[in-house]
Every structure is written in C-alpha cells, then in structure tokens.
Amino acid sequence: MDIFIDALVDQEELLWLNWCRQYLQVTTLLELTTADGRRRRLLQPLGPWSDSLDRWTWLFSRTALILFHRTAASLAIYRPINSRSHKTFRRDLHHTWTGTLPGDVQRASVNLHPRTAYVTVTGTAPVDPPDPESLPASILHIWRELAADMDDNWGWVPEYIYIEGDKQVLLEALEKGKLRVISDGSFKQQVGTAAVQLQTRRGGHVIWIKCRTPGKREDQSAYRSELIGLLAGILVASWLRLRLQSLAKPRVCVACDGSAALRQAFSTWPLSPIAPHFDLLSSICEALRVSNISWAEQHVGGHADQTKTWRQMSWWKRRNSEVDDIAQGYADELIATNDTIATNPKFFSEPCAIYIDNEKVSCLALESVDEAVLLPELMEYWAAKGRLAPEHFRSVDWPIVHRAMKSLKPAEQRFITKHTVGMCGVGKFRKRCGLNSKNRCPLCGLEEDHLHVPRCPSDRAKTQWQLLLQELQEWFQSTTTATPIAQFLGALLCTIRTPNNQPQTETPWYRLHGMSSSALTQVCEAQLRLGPQCLLEGLLVHGWADLQQQFYRSRGSRRSGNLWAANLS
C-alpha cells in the first residue's frame, strides 16, 4: 500500500526557511536568479541592474513568495508560507550578501514597509521582448504537440478545439484586453463534459472548445465539470498569449454559471489536499500563476433560456446558453456510444498529484486513506466469517451504502454495524456476558445468533417476517419501483426462511417476467452471488440505481435512482 504525494517538495521547514532567506537577502538580480532553491521558476528573463530606477516588489502571500515587476516579469517560489515563519522572513530582510559582484551589476537598496508584508527593491531589470521567430505557430500547433506527449497517466488537453473566423482578430482582442472566455459544464448519468468559447463582444471570431471531465466515476459531478471548463479556457487563452510580443499583462474576463467553481478557481486562499477536487483546483491555480495574463472573473446566471426569450437574454447569458448546449450534446454523444469511462491523468499544470495504491485521486480523502489501511484486514475478517467473499467485494455499490449509513443517526449506525457482525443482544452474547445461563432463542429454544433471528421457525417470528415483507412491498409501491426489480428483490429475501436457501449462480433462479434486458439480468446474477443475507443487511450491487433511474426517466419522473437505492439499502 502506497500513499504519497508526487512532487519535488521537501517537507523540512528549516530547509525551506533557508531557501527563502537566501532569496530575501539578495541585493541584485544576478544573485536572485542564481540563488539556490529547488522550487524557483523564472517566468520571464531577468537581466542585470542598470543605472535607471524602477520598482520591484516582494509579495508575501499565503500560497507563495513572489517577486513582481511592472513589466510583467516575475519570479515565483512555490511553497506555502505559514505564519510561524513570517517573523523569520522579516528579521532576515536586513541582512545582505557580501560576495564579490560582477562589474556590470550594482547593488540595490532593500526596504521593508512597516506593518505590511511588502518589500521594495530599487533598481531596474530590462526585459527584452521575445524573438518573433521563437513564437509558436498557433494554438492548434501547441495543442497537437501537448496531445502527442500525453498518455493515460500524464497530461491533459481538451479533445476538440476549432477556430471560427480569423484568429488574428482574437489575438488583437487579447492584446487590447477585450477577450472573453465563457465556459459551462454538464453532468448526466455520471458523465461529465464541458464546453468553452473565446471571443469578443462583436462576435464572428470564436475559438470553440469541448472536452470530457477527467477523473474516476465517483469523482464526476457538475462542480467538477465546471472546473474542467475553466481550466480548458485558461489553458487556451494562455497559449494564445504566447503569440503576443508585448510584455504587458493583457486582461481576460472569464465567466461561467457555477458560482462555487468560479469562486474557488480564482481564490487566493491556500488549497488543502483534502479539499474536494484538489487536483483540478491546484492545476487551475498553477495555470493562472504562470499565464502572464491579468484575469477577471464574472458569474453568469445559468439556464436563462428556460425562462427568457433570446432577445431578453444578455450577451453573457446567450453565450452561456450556447456552451451549455454544446456540453450537453457532447455528453449525450458519449452516453450513446457507451464511452462513459474517463481517464484520470496528472494535469500538465498540476504541481502536486496525489496517489493512493498507485492510482491518482482527486484529493486526499481521509476515507480513502482509512480504506487503504484497514480494508485488507476487514476483508480477511469478512471472508473468515463467511459474510462477504473477497472476489465479491468490488461488486457492492459502496457509495450507496455510505449514503444510506450517513442518513441514519449515530446510534442507529452503531447498532447496524454491531448487528452485521453478530455483536447484539442474542442468546450467544447474552450467555457470554453472563446474562443467560444458556444460549437459547426465547421463541423456539434453538441456539440463537444474529443469523438465527430472521430464520427463527416459531410462529411469532413467521408472522413478524410477513409483516416486514408487506411493509417492503408497500414501500416499493410508494417509490414507484419497477415491477421486475420489486419482485426479484422480494423473492430473494423470501429465500432466507426457506430450507437450503442458497440460490443458483449459473442462471437466475427467479424468472424476470419476460424482461430480456441484459443489464437487468447481469445485476440480478451479481446480487444472487452475494446471497440473501447480504441483501438483508443492505449490500446492493452496482446497477440497481441505474436501472431504477432508467425506469424513472422512461415514465418522465424526476426522481433519483441513487436516492431510491440509498433508502432501500
């Protein structure tokens, strides 16, 4: 079992403080660009100091230590700064290096602003504009080169990019700060997609983007689809920025209808690895940081086309409606072709990818860590007790079981957990605790454990069992459960009280009333392999929620199949 963070980040605080001290003590740009630090990244070429004056500024943020300059040159040191080390930085600012300097370099004055986290360095560093011959041919050229370097575990770019109109007009709009990025995500049947357009207010010249949401099936959500749309738009705008020879930071406005995604993507607060979708959020933050663009965000009300006519909608809402239609159409294409499994690679701009058992995860979920550590022993225990064989473990829909348990009170959660392993008030444990002299069922006189309770042959137990089955059938009717599903599950539970209640596994022992759906047959066979006791304890296999969701959709119902399965479990 491996749990590690894939990044060249040394976690020793003293080493990091030493690196920062070396940076903050420098007095020339030559020293700055040659200071020792593994996480140093030069965003623009920094030349030597000259006689004219200009202003450089150190910024102490919660996420990085960054040197800013008016001409958009900057040098960033990527390592979170905590409050404990802040005083150390301020104290060491007054120290200087005393090494011999080259003849073409002069010392600069370093002044600490009182009661602030800013340091002003006086001097200049002329930055030469890039050579036009070194500029990339186009964003499509960059896109194809990056796509060629990708595999299932490394790299991500949008699947589709096409340009409508003249890209030179878009380049000029970017330089003048008039470029807009509008994105929207779609999420249906556990498939996430997004669509983006880059254009100006005048329209006619557009870069269209559509992509699917990378990540595991359980990670897919509408929120994640919004995030991948934002990342796609930021990446393409950054590629377009590489074509500019200007050193200024152009302004680009990014809009989407997901307020939470927009707020988190452009937040300056430090990210936590346990935050949901940490991989995408950290990739967006890194892409924003190195883009050499001044970003502005704007929230747009979504689905305005459902309540307003096209003429009544604003320009932003019209564009949002367009990308929403494209994203939903792409999701329908993937679902129609049964292409519902997405890869989960490390993004090009992802500074810190998290892996558990050699599999990339979207965040460091504490439940995943607990599962990686405790699950092997738990599976051995269940196999030894004959409750659940290891080969059947992956067939259980554990997210549904988790949702069902979370809906219960803590006392009910503890009772169910103890009852499934037999630690409850039955004759076996009452004798062990000294409450009874013998292990006997009070109704039939046989030995009593938790497996005996639903199988007790007494008349009172039989009557109570029939009442519970009747309540289950009433619940099936109240939730509009598909008839074959209700009949199959009810019949499987009835086998608990029949002799030799081991169902067949080769073919369904219960006829599905003429339904020929292969998906239904596969789900029934998987549930049969688990047996009736697992069904009684709420262990449903994958597929029941999807089948019920299809039934709801066929009847025009807006009910949720996942909620139905969680309530059943």
Find the mean pLDDT for residues 119-127.
38
pLDDT at residue 374 is higher than 70: yes
The CA-atom distances, in angstroms, between 191 and each of 90, 188, 220, 324 are 50, 5, 7, 15
Q: Render 111-126 in DSSP notation, one character per residue.
A: EEPTTSSEEEEEE---
Contact criterion met (CB below 8 Å) for 71 and 56: no
In the predicted model, is pLDDT for residue 3 greater than 90?
A: no
Report how far Cα 42 is from the mean position of its chain's Cα atoms: 29
The answer to whether residue 89 scores a pLDDT higher than 50 is: no
Q: Are the CB atoms for 54 and 134 separated by under 8 Å?
A: no
* Mean pLDDT comparison of 70-84, 222-236, 437-451, highest-scoring range: 222-236
Q: What letter would DSSP give residue 154?
A: B
Which residues partner with 196 through β-bridges?
183, 209
* 8 Å CB contact between 125 and 29: yes
Angle at 395 between CA 2 and CA 507, to 5 degrees: 150
User: What is the sign of the dihedral through the CA atoms of 350, 236, 271 and 367?
Assistant: negative
Q: What is the pLDDT of residue 221?
A: 93
The alpha carbon of 484 is separated from its chain's Cα centroid by a whole number of angstroms, namely 36
pLDDT tens digits, one per residue of 23-50:
555 544 444 444 444 333 333 433 333 3
Specify the amino acid at residue 128.
D
Residue 432 predicted with pLDDT over 50: yes
Task: Examine the pLDDT at 110 and tell me if it is beyond 60.
Answer: no
Six token digits for residue 304 = 């305005």
Give me the pLDDT at residue 22, please. 54
* Pairwise CA distance, residues 469 & 454, whole Å: 12
Residue 423, both tokens: 């630690």
Q: What percent of the chain is predicted at pLDDT more than 90?
A: 26
Answer whether residue 172 shows pLDDT above 50: yes
Strands 160-164 and 75-77: unpaired
Q: What confidence category does residue 418 fall into, taking pLDDT thresholds of 50, 70 and 90? A: confident
Residue with token string 């007095």: 27
Q: Which range (178-182, 284-288, 465-469, 512-516) has the least confidence?
A: 512-516
Sheet holding 75-77, edge to edge: 40-42, 75-77, 65-69, 54-60, 118-123, 110-112
Please report which helix (H) or strand (E) contains residue 89, including its range: helix 83-92
DSSP bridge pairs for 181: 198, 254
DSSP 217: G
Each residue of 453-509: pLDDT tens digit? Answer: 888 999 998 999 999 999 999 999 999 998 889 989 999 998 888 765 444 433 344
Per-residue model confidence (pLDDT) at position 498: 78
pLDDT at res. 208: 94
Q: Which long-range contacts (CB under 8 A, 24 or more apart) does 361-366 make?
A: 361/216, 361/219, 361/279, 362/215, 362/216, 362/219, 362/224, 362/276, 362/277, 362/278, 362/279, 362/280, 363/273, 363/274, 363/275, 363/276, 363/277, 363/278, 363/279, 364/273, 364/274, 364/278, 365/274, 366/274
| CB of 504 closer than 8 Å to CB of 528 | yes
**pLDDT(202) > 90:** no
Q: Using alpha carbons, select from 476, 499, 475 the residue that is nearest to residue 487.
A: 476
Task: Tell me the residue type at 61.
Answer: S
User: Smallest Cα–Cα separation from 388: which of 378, 401, 400?
Assistant: 378
pTM over 0.85: no
CA 241 distance to own-chain centroid: 28
pLDDT, one tens digit per residue, over 314-323 is 999 999 999 9
Q: pLDDT tens digits for 383-399?
A: 888 888 888 888 899 88
pLDDT at 364: 87
In the numeric block, the tokens 């292409």 are attached to 339
Strand partners, 369: none
- Work out the mean pLDDT of the chain and round it to a whole number: 76
Whole-number Å distance between alpha carbons of 448 and 556: 48
Rg (CA), the chain: 31
Crossing angle of helices 398-406 and 561-568, in 10° steps, is 70
Question: CA 177, CA 183: separation in Å to the nearest integer?
Answer: 18
Note whether 328 and 284 are within 8 A (CB): no
**Is the pLDDT score of 9 beyond 90?**
no
